[in-house]
Amino acid sequence: MEFVIITGMSGAGKTGALHVLEDIGYYCVDNLPSSLLSTLYDLCLKSEDDSMKRVAVVVDVRGNEKFEEMCSQIERFKRRYENVKVLFFDATTDRLVVRYKETRRRHPLSEKLKDGSVLSAVELERELLLPVKRTADYNIDTTYM
């Protein structure tokens, strides 16, 4: 079984990547809490359905209240299971802020900050996700995409 965890900065293209993987035959799940990674892996491993032998999931700040736990859960999961790859999507802070302004969407961490600014939310998210970025198999910079 192939298992791909897509994570990274909000606005960096994780959902677009998930759609591409779905188009080439992966079973895809968006916004999975990191606490459910092992459960999903075990279910897919036991499944007799061949379509569940190539799996891609997005795990990010939207589905995880405790970010430190999310990072450590991804790291432990990667060490425990075979054929797991972690893709980390990133872009420059300036570009991510522009993308949020263009779409007029709210950053998932904006509510947690006093000023609620997109810039502050992006900077906080970058800091929180640094441990996952360091352990990722692939770091994909989408700044110019």
Per-residue pLDDT reduced to its tens digit, 77-114: 999 998 999 999 999 999 999 998 888 788 877 777 77
**In the predicted structure, residue 65 carries a pLDDT above the cut 70:** no
**pLDDT band of 20, cuts 50, 70, 90:** very high
Predicted confidence at residue 64, as pLDDT, reads 62
Q: Which domains does the chain have, with CATH numbers?
A: 2-141 (3.40.50.300)
Mean pLDDT in residue range 11-21? 96
Identify the H or E element spanning 67.
helix 67-80
The pLDDT value given to residue 21: 97
pLDDT at 141: 98
For the chain, strand residue ranges (E) read 2-8, 27-29, 54-58, 84-90, 138-141
Residue 138 and residue 86 in contact, taking contact as beta carbons nearer than 8 Å? yes
Residue type, 100: Y
